[in-house]
Homo-oligomer: A and B are copies of this chain.
Amino acid sequence: MAKAGGSSKSGTGKSGASKVYNAFYAQSGGVTAVINASAAGVLETARKYPKKIGKVFAGRDGIIGALYENLIDTSADSKEAIAGLKATPGGAFGSCRYKLKSPDQHRAEYERLLEVFGAHDIRYFFYNGGNDSMDTANKIARFAAEHGYPLTCIGIPKTVDNDLPITDNCPGFGSVAKYVAVSIREAGLDVASMSTSSTKIFVLEVMGRHAGWIAAAGGLASEKAGQPPHIILFPEVPFDRDAFLARVDNCVKQYGYCTVVVSEGVKNPEGKFLAEAGTKDAFGHSQLGGVAPVIAQLVKDSLGYKYHYAVADYLQRAARHIASKTDVEQAYAVGKAAVEFAVKGHNAVMPVIVRKKGAKYAWEIGMANLGDIANVERKMPANFISPDGFHITPACRKYLRPLIQGEAYPPYANGLPQYVLLKNKAVKRRLPEWTPG
């Protein structure tokens, strides 16, 4: 078995004389149904450039893996296993919620990264994440340049929140969008069946603490007036209790039932999360549920209707079984493009998805500077939310619809999807143990 790093193919130790260098790939933040498709794009493409890229080391649990020199040798995994990543949700190498501070605040972390990269002949850095990660990648690129370390830093977009700027949409979002739209359509048929003598209200809670993109996607299920969801509650629209209840009551009177998709981040007019506003009883006990039970109970208390509610939570962002084919393809494409950008000599950039002009949806890969992505949060445009604040507009449908197109079913055996687990072969450490400063 080849020794991890330092093999003939993977550079020549610290001399830097060879033109073949290793790469480091890390997943960051909340995972998605398709982040592993981006990993597959990186790994398969890197293997096509053996004269430039040696091994691809993945970070065990994201960037933390680099700091603690917990590297994974992806060359231990077969072509078939890597291909299987395209149909596997979650993060194949683990992810983390960990944001590097700025070099001014925590210089030791940046120095450590370069030390680890140096020890393993790493000169390519691929960082697969959202806003924070693009900021981090950008800072690392600058720090490396300032310190004379030749590092190519490429960001790879990923977030179910769909809140990165410049790119038309974010890999990971299309699949959550499809899951939510399918789920509310199905649950809506259930409630409609039961409403005469039983449940009249159904509330589905979805992710989205700051932006309503995911809740908006639920609106795609409603293609004609009266179809579920009847009401969407966005974080962008302060919750108007009376208007909401009037709308629910009208809906029940007109259709016999009412279905609601609610963003976890909905706030009251004072700017407090609804889920939080209801969290404390008189003794200060915290409330256990999310926003769905708060909304459902409000309807029950005010209008008397029987309710059910669901909280999709991780199911929505892990639901590879009903992923959007468009999303899977785009996630793969940004991984592939990241490697291509790197071997072409670009640095501190991120592949973006560009929507082409024309009536029929088509997309291509473009390029953005990390500095233009970092820390910019894209909210729903005002013209995507209907004037009454309770649904999406035709412009929003036009934007969202292509993103959920196509099914990309994983393989099944024994009635269950066959998701791959990689070997996660540890790379031998070359440095003393690190203690954060």
Tell me the bound Cα distance from A190 to B282 in angstroms: 36
Interface size class of A (residues with CB under 8 A): 35 or more
The reply to whether A310 and B313 contact each other, CB–CB distance below 8 Å, is yes
- Contact residues, A255-296 vs B (CB, 8 A): 278, 281-283, 285-289, 292-294, 296
Cβ-based interface call for A254 (8 A)? no
Provide 12 A-B residue pairs closer than 8 Å at the C-beta atoms, listed in order of the A residue. A30-B194, A61-B197, A94-B193, A96-B194, A96-B197, A182-B417, A183-B315, A190-B317, A202-B314, A292-B311, A310-B313, A404-B416
Tell me the bound Cα distance from A309 to B30 in angstroms: 15
What residue of chain B has the Cβ atom nearest to residue A322's Cβ?
A: B321
Which residues of B sit under 8 angstroms from A431, Cβ to Cβ? none
Cβ-based interface call for A210 (8 A)? no
Tell me the bound Cα distance from A95 to B61 in angstroms: 49
Which residues of B sit under 8 angstroms from A287, Cβ to Cβ? 288-289
CB distance from A84 to the nearest CB of B (A): 13
Which residues from chain A sit less than 8 Å from chain B, CB to CB?
A: 27, 30-31, 33, 61-62, 64, 88-91, 94-98, 178, 181-183, 185-187, 189-198, 202, 204, 220-221, 223, 278, 281-283, 285-289, 292-294, 296-297, 308-315, 317-322, 324, 401, 404-407, 409, 412, 414-417, 419
The reply to whether A186 and B315 contact each other, CB–CB distance below 8 Å, is yes
The reply to whether A312 and B310 contact each other, CB–CB distance below 8 Å, is yes
Question: Which of the residues B182, B204, B313, B318 comes within 8 Å of A416, measured between beta carbons?
Answer: B182
- Known A96-B197, A193-B91: A412·B419 in contact at CB below 8 Å: no
The reply to whether A178 and B415 contact each other, CB–CB distance below 8 Å, is yes
- Known A61-B197, A97-B194, A416-B404: A88·B293 in contact at CB below 8 Å: no
Question: Which of the residues B90, B288, B401, B412 comes within 8 Å of A193, measured between beta carbons?
Answer: B90
The reply to whether A419 and B31 contact each other, CB–CB distance below 8 Å, is no
Q: Chain A's interface: helix, strand, loop or mixed, by majority? A: mixed
Tell me the bound Cα distance from A230 to B416 in angstroms: 17
What residue of chain B has the Cβ atom nearest to residue A70's Cβ?
A: B196
The reply to whether A313 and B309 contact each other, CB–CB distance below 8 Å, is yes
Tell me the bound Cα distance from A204 to B313 in angstroms: 9
Which residues of B sit under 8 angstroms from A62, Cβ to Cβ? 197
Tell me the bound Cα distance from A208 to B417 in angstroms: 24
What residue of chain B has the Cβ atom nearest to residue A60's Cβ?
A: B196
- Known A190-B31, A417-B182: A196·B407 in contact at CB below 8 Å: no
CB distance from A55 to the nearest CB of B (A): 22
The reply to whether A308 and B314 contact each other, CB–CB distance below 8 Å, is yes
Tell me the bound Cα distance from A311 to B312 in angstroms: 7
The reply to whether B310 and A309 contact each other, CB–CB distance below 8 Å, is no
The reply to whether B407 and A412 contact each other, CB–CB distance below 8 Å, is yes
Tell me the bound Cα distance from A143 to B372 in angstroms: 77
CB distance from A182 to the nearest CB of B (A): 5
Which residues of B sit under 8 angstroms from A318, Cβ to Cβ? 186-187, 189-190
